[in-house]
Amino acid sequence: MAKIAVITGASQGIGRSLAHQIAKTGYKVVAGARSMDKLESLAGEINNAGGTAFALSLDVSDSSSIDNFKKEVEKLGIPSMVINNAGIGRFGPTDEVSREDWDIQLNTNLRGAFLVTKAFLPKMKRDQEGTIVFINSVAGIQPFSHSAAYVASKFGLRGFAAALREELREYNIKVISVHPGAVNTPFWESIPGEFPTEDMLDMDVLAENIVHNIQSPGNLTVEEMIIRRVGGDF
């Protein structure tokens, strides 16, 4: 029976590319996000290409939405892979960051990843098998100015993943943090300013690389991946 992979924030960008790449390796993909129209078109593309995908509504900043998502996923089966990818960035000088913008970044990027992981963890522990992936950022290992909330959320996410990894070694569960540099996705469209998107990492090439590494067989795991342009950060 095909294994199930859950991917959050799969409606566009890196999550969407990951969904396509994971489906190609034979996983049934459960794609979650708020934009159901985009998710349904993604699931249609995967199913037409011979894969299997399901679109489910998910707001990772809302714990009742996560509870409902979990119930719907478990009607399809028990996931052996969870990819926490949903994330947002709001940038600016710290004295101009609103409490709402702080909260939404921490609630989406950090608390959301905790709650989604927690939802699927008991059955992975019971099965003594699983892979939990966190799509972090280079902002989770080095600071950038005008990015305090985003950097805080991603440093926090790296810490959460690292602690979880230690806790889950005895359960044979792989915990993987992925730290990409800037990637050409719609993420940059909502951020004021001009960005050299054409020179950023390609999301499909990135996703293919991530999917290869997170599926390392047996007792081997790539615990942290730092993936940059050869030319470095912008």
Ligand X SMILES: NC(=O)c1ccc[n+]([C@@H]2O[C@H](COP(=O)([O-])OP(=O)(O)OC[C@H]3O[C@@H](n4cnc5c(N)ncnc54)[C@H](OP(=O)(O)O)[C@@H]3O)[C@@H](O)[C@H]2O)c1
Binding mask 122-161 for ligand X (x = CB under 6 A): -------------x-x------------------------
Choose between 51 and 87: whose C-beta lies nearer to ligand X. Answer: 87
Rounded least distance, CB 219 to ligand X, Å: 28
Distance separating alpha carbons of residues 25 and 221, to the nearest angstrom: 18
* One residue of 187, 207, 210, 214 binding ligand X per CB under 6 A: 187
Rounded least distance, CB 127 to ligand X, Å: 25
* One residue of 4, 5, 7, 8 binding ligand X per CB under 6 A: 8
Q: Which residues pair with 137 in a beta bridge?
A: none
Distance separating alpha carbons of residues 24 and 38, to the nearest angstrom: 19
Choose between 51 and 89: whose C-beta lies nearer to ligand X. Answer: 89
Choose between 125 and 195: whose C-beta lies nearer to ligand X. Answer: 195
Could you list the residues that contact ligand X (CB under 6 A)?
8-15, 33-35, 58-61, 85-89, 108, 135, 137, 180, 182-183, 185-187
